[in-house]
């Protein structure tokens, strides 16, 4: 894995943890925690070809959801607008603005739609 520092602040530059996703029965190292900025998403390509959107909220909790917007089919959720509704963090698709709960993947604007979520840890 190649490590790059993109827009690292003094706070994030000190964080040497690695973000890992549960895939199958293993934990896959995805990126250094220092590459994540609160309120902004980062996309990562998984070995099986899926894309994941990674987010960290202002309290430092990390989330991972599928990067594919189920309404358009575009891989854009990592570029969405991050916010919260009643204390629940969400990302709004940059295309049609549907909001997806970062913890559950549920669409907050359509009860019948959701995106897959990934178990994530930083160590």
Tens of pLDDT, residues 56-83: 988 889 999 999 999 999 999 999 999 9
* Token pair in block for residue 41: 């998403």
Tell me the C-alpha distance between 70 and 113, whole Å: 8
Neighbours of 7 (CB within 10 A): 8
pTM of the model: 0.85
Is residue 30 pLDDT above 80, yes or no? yes
pLDDT, residue 92, reads 98
Query: Given this model, what pLDDT does residue 9 score?
Result: 44
Q: Distances from the Cα of 114 to the Cαs of 4, 47, 60, 87, 100, in angstroms?
A: 32, 23, 24, 19, 7
Q: Which residue has the higher pLDDT, 52 or 13?
A: 52
Give the pLDDT of residue 14. 57
Please write down the long-range contacts of 1-5, taking CB distance under 8 Å and 24 or more positions apart. 1/29, 1/31, 3/32, 4/35, 5/34, 5/35
């Amino acid at each position: 894995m190649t490590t790059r520092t993109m827009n690292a602040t003094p706070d994030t530059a000190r964080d040497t943890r690695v973000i890992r996703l549960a895939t199958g029965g293993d934990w896959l190292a995805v990126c250094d925690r220092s590459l994540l900025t609160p309120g902004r998403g980062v996309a990562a390509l998984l070995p099986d070809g899926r894309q994941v959107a990674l987010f960290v909220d202002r309290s430092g909790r990390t989330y991972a959801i599928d990067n594919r917007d189920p309404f358009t089919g575009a891989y854009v959720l990592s570029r969405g607008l991050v916010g919260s509704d009643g204390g629940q963090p969400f990302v709004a698709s940059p295309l049609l603005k549907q909001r997806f709960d970062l913890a559950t993947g549920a669409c907050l604007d359509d009860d019948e739609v959701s995106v897959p979520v990934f178990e994530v840890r930083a160590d």
